[in-house]
Amino acid sequence: MASLLPLLYFFFFASPSLVNAKSNSTITSINRDLYHSSADLLEQIKALVHRHPDKLTAETIKTGNKGYKAEITVVTYCRSRKETDDRSKFRILLSFGQHGRELITTELAFRILSVLSEEQFLPDVDASSLNNTLDKLIVKVVPMENLNGRKIVEEGDLCERRNGRGVDLNRNWSVDWGKKEKDYDPYEENPGTGPFSEPETQIMRKLALTFDPHIWVNVHSGMEALFMPYDHRNTTPDGVLSERMRSLLSKLNNVHCHKHCMIGSGGGSVGYLAHGTATDFMYDIVKVPMAFTFEIYGDTAASSKDCFKMFNPVDLTTFNRVLHDWSSAFFTIFKLGPLQLDGNHSKAMASGVDKFVSIDEYLDGYLMERRNRYGKKMEVLDVGMQEIRTQSFAPEAETLSKLWGCAYEAFPAKSSGLENENISCNGE
């Protein structure tokens, strides 16, 4: 058991015992020679997009609630921009920097985009084979999901992983939201006032539902691991997709992780369950066939108070090795991912805009928010929601959600993330 303790400190899902190290006297500071500031990194990425309009596009999505504002930049790679809505292409969604202190993940995002734009190259990769692979893909990259939290880290709180108002964005999703383990630490794992209470997770949820990816990867640091669902259980899913996810991870471990990455479910591999995570939502609700969480670096010798060193390489050699190994791993995913699904993704692609959306999407953010806001328990509603949560419904779900909203029209129409909802209870 003692041998697991170092891993528990690094496991990004949990890390419940990390100390809020606000003193700079005994900890490693950010190496500005290796790492971009958040502002500079996003500017560099936007400049990269501007230089390669034939391959890259970018948009910045902004939203907010209760006086808190957030923005997320999304970069789309497609070798022919006119095909960015082509549902026959294989779709991959990657998110980096969900936790502010994990700077190395955002540098990896920049490196991947640089290779995609052909400003940097991977050694030992055949260019023609790579181009043939990339022709069939649309890749969306979120290089820095938690910009507000990153700014707090840059201001000196190097252990901060939450967003700008103290919520862990990887506990704010609706699958198994709000459950707390015995050693729960709000500094590490605050799930927010309700699922999708945070603008950042609202943006990511909408992006996932509209893009409908075949592969999702949430990139973190703190250890070296290749995780698949589930985080809130100590088991992996049953079935062929689970076997194919594990097969792909094994190949990545052998080729790029030098056979020392941990593989398995997030909840089972380390022995700590995480509730309300993005990857469980992507797999259970968005129905992404292959959903992963990668941990790309961790210094097991670092003090739990020395967060920059614990989560990020501090020397040039290690920095370059991490970026090379893991960018190569992602291009292996680009090549093998479609082969792993072996044509079985065609039905999902053909369904496109007709993809079923979970009723959870309509109800969690609308009615559960009101329960939290007014401190009232809606026992009947809660039971009903537990029965239908994670089930799939046809587009009629939108009408159903409106009817449920009308049933509670005594509550104000304005709520977190719903300022733009247009729900009419007259004649419907």
In this structure, is residue 201 part of a structural domain? yes
In this structure, is residue 187 part of a structural domain? yes
Distance of CA 270 to CAs 92, 247, 262, 264, Å?
27, 20, 9, 9
pTM, whole model, 2 decimals? Answer: 0.78
- Active-site choice (160, 189, 200, 295): 295
> What is the tally of structural domains in the chain?
1
In this structure, is residue 347 part of a structural domain? no
In this structure, is residue 24 part of a structural domain? no
In this structure, is residue 380 part of a structural domain? no
In this structure, is residue 141 part of a structural domain? yes
In this structure, is residue 288 part of a structural domain? yes
Helix (H) or strand (E) holding 13: none
In this structure, is residue 426 part of a structural domain? no
Burial of 197 (0-12, 13-18, 19+ CB in 10 A): buried
Tens-level pLDDT at each residue, the chain (428 residues): 444 444 444 444 444 434 444 444 578 999 999 999 999 999 999 999 999 999 999 999 999 999 999 999 999 999 876 665 667 899 999 999 999 999 999 999 999 999 999 999 988 777 778 888 899 999 999 999 999 999 999 999 999 999 999 999 999 999 999 998 887 888 888 999 999 999 999 999 999 999 999 999 999 999 999 999 999 999 999 999 999 999 999 999 999 998 999 999 988 777 678 999 999 999 999 999 999 999 999 999 999 899 999 999 999 999 999 999 999 999 999 999 998 886 555 434 333 333 444 444 444 433 333 333 223 333 333 323 432 343 333 333 333 333 333 333 333 333 333 333 333 333 33
Query: What is the rounded distance in angstroms from the CA atom of residue 157 to the CA atom of residue 308?
Result: 10
- Spatial CA neighbour of 156 closest among 96, 85, 112, 100: 100
421 is catalytic: no
Orientation angle between helical segments 316-341 and 103-116, nearest 10 degrees: 60
Task: Give the domain extent around 51.
Answer: 38-342
Residue 262, classed as helix, strand or coil, is strand
Phi, psi (deg, nearest 5) at residue 336: -90, -25
CATH number at residue 189: 3.40.630.10
Distance of CA 238 to CAs 226, 235, 242, 243, 244, Å?
18, 9, 6, 8, 11
β-sheet bridge partners, residue 56: 77
Angle at CA of residue 318, ends 300 and 322, nearest 5°: 90
Tokens of 227: 């995780």
